[in-house]
Structure 1
């Protein structure tokens, strides 16, 4: 998943000049760590030990006040509006506010508590109102429009042109051109949406932490030793030594669904996991409908019938027709493969049990894994010893070294926000520090589920012409070490690491003038290219041979096991694709609706009908936990994962042809994709790297859906300027 963003902040509030302060006593203004730049820390990193919950609200109030003064100075400037005194001045405003927000929001997801959640609710409307007050400032809008209207005569470079265009679009799409009652309505709706999305995300985290499942006896059959050890440790921490406590944390849930021999246990976990937030104190059912209504009402203010019509305007896809064209084309291409897969799994399960088997939703992972083991002699758990986390860190970081020449040096003097977190300096080929990366790998009750990358500070050039180095983090939920074993990853978890590290490289390699165009600040359907590109290396022997070795013996992973990873990489491709399409189609359904959704379950059922693979399970649905679209930045944008898959497969085909670590190809990917952020249109950047627009062929060939000799299918990405 792409970086976590403070979704309630409009894009006009830029992350600039984010060095912060020294602090000591919580609650006193003089010692608030956010009130001055961090001049006493390593590389200007955040002094987490000095940050207290009581510091946030005073710092936000101060930041809002200071940015309002900066905005007033722009509006009241007696000189004629210019690119520098208006657009760049706006870009550089809000440094003090963003100093606190770029700490608050990452920690709200990675290391939260009840107090922090309560603070986020109080800040939600305040920050939304502040953002809206900027975008609806008529004096500011007039100056921006004045500069924009004479853009043809300004002789701007491409990056300056993009900053001007995005600033203008941001204001225009945030109500600056609205008048009278419509302006006030936009302000009201923006504030309401901020509160709703914040509440949705909090409900997901709060309910997840309420679940604990105690298993014993035959219920434990089939579960790997590593899972049982983790469950025993969890029980011990609760004062019940000798028992087994399970939660619905993602690594635990996935292990139970894949390995538990008891269908009843699998069904129990499935129903609990997929009925979260559908009822009770933390229900998101009505909140979802309210979010969809509010977004649609915002879109209507801009003359759009649906939110998707509004949201897709500034994407590579451009409109709903192009999104549905891709999703439906993929469904048509992958459905036959999924049907063949299910027929094979059902036959295998029936033979194994001696009775006809009906494949339920909670059976797929179990029997698919059993078939994979039988067909390829592949046991994912047997691979864990070869993927000890520290070795994987060396391998994943080493990928960047082989491709781009950068190295990573852990620095214990850089403060971290939790004992599990590590901080590394990133060193460029000239042995200069180019940024900082924090790694946060293990589940905890203060962390939301999933995996993501975020920024504590963006890269940019400050007003003095100095480069401000990026500080990024990658956050995951891997199996935690036990008393007897280190953290041992599955290949899937290694793939997750590669994915988030790709986002991190996008942020670390950024070489732009403006923070708002830096790193991952690109079109939503382009942002997943660097992350998904990295995933391709998981099935490359030359990469795995460099770090995968047994954590006890030091023996390298046997060639036959590497071959099994490669041979099984296409296994379940049909299922995996249709599952992703179900998410994308549901997202589009929520954001193309033209009326209030009275029955969210029915909306989800209808949306996924064309890609459904199992019988409907009463009470189960994924929309109430779908934080990507209801609490994140993927509203009418979840299709972008498949869109980016087309791009990443097409891009990796260049490396397959020229060499996995070919320097010329890697340099081109770095300079044209990773370094340029959102400074130019993504298709312009992609064509500069690839030499042509992408086709869907490489993806279909990689997944074994289309033989390599078949002619090209139609291109899924609309033609853009050179």
Structure 2
């Protein structure tokens, strides 16, 4: 029996925990009872229920009212949301062949379902009619009406029937392609390993890298084998420390060539089709390019504004990277290397140069950054800023043994539940992210959120983090706080459901507290001796803050510029994604020794769904905000200043999408920022005129 046949074999609600009421602690899904075969019947039932709810709204003969029409729409689909939240969290964090087969089936069906709702002429007419009565609504209700109406318009509600049909077909096809894209990248990541068979293969590697490689071998059913994988927590330390240049090159090329193998997992044709369909979608809505369509509903507003920011940063970043390259080349030559350094050499020599300049290396700092200590530091920072308390709850059901759960409270009041899934495994897609099993809202009672952070750190006894790993944990926890502190009425405006180039503000801002001496001195303690990180080491960390920032900025901005250029195309005929990528990098003068942070064939931010399509610039846009926002704390003389933190919580972390993001930021800071704080943070000089 196939997966699909099995999934349809027992549709009875009594046998399906996804359809039944949940009596689990905190209202978590009953993970132990959920099997792959439960999902399709649960989706079928939830889709039918949602269609019935929408039909009732459309067929209502009474004049449309906010309380019936718009709130009816807002209250609809809760069963579908519940099933989808469980499924897509598992499909990303703990997938299987069965779940991937279901994902390929359900993703286009869900896309078609939502497209049909948001292009329904009768439903849109009822929502559109509410504009005439908007003055009687309070500010949050007006915002809900504005955002809902705009969502219908951007989905194609105003199009002619033939154009609507084509729009819906495009949306459905894009969902299929995005699913394939993500699964192809995961397959490439899971299928490649480099075995370190001899002592010579392990030359230069610290013990923590070898231990992680041995654990990777055990996890893949090869006990005793030391395996380097394509998970960032494995490949980056290997590229940093390995003395074997030939193996560094082999691993680097496998890492950067995901999605372009030429075989069944090759993503190039998918990319070409997706870019063409996105352009067609934008043109149906009257926009000249997909970038123009996508950015029209962001803080940036236009591709021109995005390009101006990226190019303003690109020039000083490239100049800085060229100086860094020259320094690395001299170091390599001083060690007896006679060639020209390449991309697989950069991390290796940069680490050596950092140690030489700052007496600081990853092997020295890791023992002070045990995972549990960094989690405690993040919790303590949230407590000092926002008054939150975290209590681990062993009784909470979780979807994998590695997942931990904490109840979050404030002044004795339940705020939400936080799940942490920190370790890499073959069943998890790469990267780090925040998601939710339940979103905060007050329309159907005081519904508290269930938020999850997912990461891919290497396991250890205990797990030790690099400083970049610790920064990633703080970053994702900033997103988690955005979801946990959400305090709005309507789920559609809750938490992280904000403009793409605003959503990274809470996460990137939270990163700043990790490097504060009062945080490091309290929580960065040696794993063996419990001695605090020496003050001199903390000072060296601070002094090295802008080290290698030319490289980091160039690899990021190059990715953002390629993303933008792809989605500014007005003619996609014959698009070869790799040739286009190469031409764009040549145009901007990409240093040969640096690659894009995310090359096009595995650029999951951009091609798994369209959340960050034409939007990878968002991290830099938000960094302009976060650098300026942290300056507000510095200007107060106290990085935990209560008054500044209260404004931050009220207007950013708790506010969701209640206001336009520019207004929200201005309410917090009193003005909008310039790029000056960003350039200072990254240590980039403005180009001379």
| 1:578 maps to 2:578 | no
Task: Give the aligned partner of residue 627 of structure 1.
Answer: 604
CA deviation profile, 1:628-680 (whole Å, cap 9, x unmatched): 00004100100000000100000000111111111111111011100001111
| 1:368 maps to 2:346 | no
Q: How many Å separate the matches in 2 of 1:258 and 1:249?
A: 14
Contact 1:275/1:620 (CA < 8 Å) preserved in 2? no
Task: Give the aligned partner of residue 303 of structure 2.
Answer: 320
Q: How many Å separate the matches in 2 of 1:585 and 1:415?
A: 43
- Cα distance, 1:542 vs. partner? 1.3
Q: How many residues align?
A: 675
| 1:180 maps to 2:161 | yes
**Aligned ranges for residues 522-533 of structure 1 at < 5 Å?**
522-533=498-509
Among candidates 618, 639, 643, match of residue 617 of structure 2? 639
| 1:383 maps to 2:359 | no
Q: How many Å separate the matches in 2 of 1:342 and 1:479?
A: 29
CA deviation profile, 1:96-135 (whole Å, cap 9, x unmatched): 1111001111111001001000001111221122111111
Are the structure 2 counterparts of residues 387 and 134 from structure 1 closer, same or farther at C-alpha, using a change threshold of 3 Å?
Answer: same
Are the structure 2 counterparts of residues 226 and 643 from structure 1 closer, same or farther at C-alpha, using a change threshold of 3 Å?
Answer: same
Among candidates 394, 401, 410, match of residue 392 of structure 2? 410
Are the structure 2 counterparts of residues 28 and 688 from structure 1 closer, same or farther at C-alpha, using a change threshold of 3 Å?
Answer: same
Q: How many Å separate the matches in 1 of 2:465 and 2:177?
A: 36
- Cα distance, 1:495 vs. partner? 0.1
Q: How many Å separate the matches in 1 of 2:589 and 2:188?
A: 29
Q: How many Å separate the matches in 2 of 1:143 and 1:80?
A: 8
Task: Give the aligned partner of residue 19 of structure 1.
Answer: none
Are the structure 2 counterparts of residues 611 and 647 from structure 1 closer, same or farther at C-alpha, using a change threshold of 3 Å?
Answer: farther
Q: How many Å separate the matches in 2 of 1:622 and 1:382?
A: 31
Q: SS at the partner of 2:136?
A: coil
Contact 2:346/2:593 (CA < 8 Å) preserved in 1? no
Whose helix proportion is higher, 1 or 2? 2
CA deviation profile, 1:10-29 (whole Å, cap 9, x unmatched): xxxxxxxxxxxxxxx97643
| 1:674 maps to 2:688 | no
**Aligned ranges for residues 98-137 of structure 1 at < 5 Å?**
98-137=81-120
TM-score using structure 1 length: 0.91
**Aligned ranges for residues 484-523 of structure 1 at < 5 Å?**
485-523=461-499
Q: SS at the partner of 1:209?
A: helix
Task: Give the aligned partner of residue 705 of structure 1.
Answer: 684
- Cα distance, 1:693 vs. partner? 0.8
Q: SS at the partner of 2:408?
A: strand
Contact 2:13/2:20 (CA < 8 Å) preserved in 1? no
Q: How many Å separate the matches in 2 of 1:26 and 1:424?
A: 34
CA deviation profile, 1:244-301 (whole Å, cap 9, x unmatched): 2222111110011111111111100011111111121100010000010111111110
| 1:45 maps to 2:28 | yes
Contact 1:435/1:469 (CA < 8 Å) preserved in 2? yes
- Cα distance, 1:167 vs. partner? 0.7
Q: How many Å separate the matches in 2 of 1:288 and 1:699?
A: 32
Are the structure 2 counterparts of residues 52 and 156 from structure 1 closer, same or farther at C-alpha, using a change threshold of 3 Å?
Answer: same
- Cα distance, 1:46 vs. partner? 1.5
**Aligned ranges for residues 294-693 of structure 1 at < 5 Å?**
294-353=277-336, 355-428=337-410, 430-463=411-444, 466-481=445-460, 485-596=461-572, 597-609=574-586, 610-614=588-592, 622-632=599-609, 633-658=611-636, 659-693=638-672
Contact 1:581/1:611 (CA < 8 Å) preserved in 2? no
| 1:282 maps to 2:265 | yes
Q: How many Å separate the matches in 2 of 1:368 and 1:615?
A: 12
Q: How many Å separate the matches in 2 of 1:228 and 1:41?
A: 40
- Cα distance, 1:233 vs. partner? 3.2
Q: SS at the partner of 1:133?
A: helix
- Cα distance, 1:598 vs. partner? 2.8
Q: How many Å separate the matches in 2 of 1:538 and 1:401?
A: 14
Are the structure 2 counterparts of residues 620 and 68 from structure 1 closer, same or farther at C-alpha, using a change threshold of 3 Å?
Answer: closer
CA deviation profile, 1:383-435 (whole Å, cap 9, x unmatched): 1111111111111111101111101000111100000000100011x111110
- Cα distance, 1:224 vs. partner? 1.2
- Cα distance, 1:87 vs. partner? 1.1
Are the structure 2 counterparts of residues 98 and 374 from structure 1 closer, same or farther at C-alpha, using a change threshold of 3 Å?
Answer: same
Are the structure 2 counterparts of residues 655 and 408 from structure 1 closer, same or farther at C-alpha, using a change threshold of 3 Å?
Answer: same
Q: How many Å separate the matches in 1 of 2:323 and 2:593?
A: 18
CA deviation profile, 1:143-194 (whole Å, cap 9, x unmatched): 011112x145x32222111111111111111111111311111121111111
CA deviation profile, 1:284-321 (whole Å, cap 9, x unmatched): 01000001011111111011121101111100000100
| 1:140 maps to 2:123 | yes
TM-score using structure 2 length: 0.95
Task: Give the aligned partner of residue 10 of structure 1.
Answer: none
Contact 2:241/2:348 (CA < 8 Å) preserved in 1? yes
CA deviation profile, 1:474-494 (whole Å, cap 9, x unmatched): 00011101xxx3101111100
Contact 1:604/1:621 (CA < 8 Å) preserved in 2? no
- Cα distance, 1:335 vs. partner? 2.4
Q: How many Å separate the matches in 2 of 1:242 and 1:431?
A: 49
Q: SS at the partner of 1:361?
A: coil
Give structure 2 stretches of 5+ with no counterpart. 1-8
Are the structure 2 counterparts of residues 371 and 616 from structure 1 closer, same or farther at C-alpha, using a change threshold of 3 Å?
Answer: closer
Over the aligned positions, Cα root-mean-square deviation in angstroms equals: 2.0
CA deviation profile, 1:64-102 (whole Å, cap 9, x unmatched): 111111111111112111111111110110011111001
Contact 2:500/2:618 (CA < 8 Å) preserved in 1? yes
- Cα distance, 1:34 vs. partner? 2.2
Among candidates 16, 30, 40, match of residue 14 of structure 2? 30
Q: How many Å separate the matches in 2 of 1:59 and 1:240?
A: 37
Task: Give the aligned partner of residue 6 of structure 2.
Answer: none
| 1:57 maps to 2:35 | no
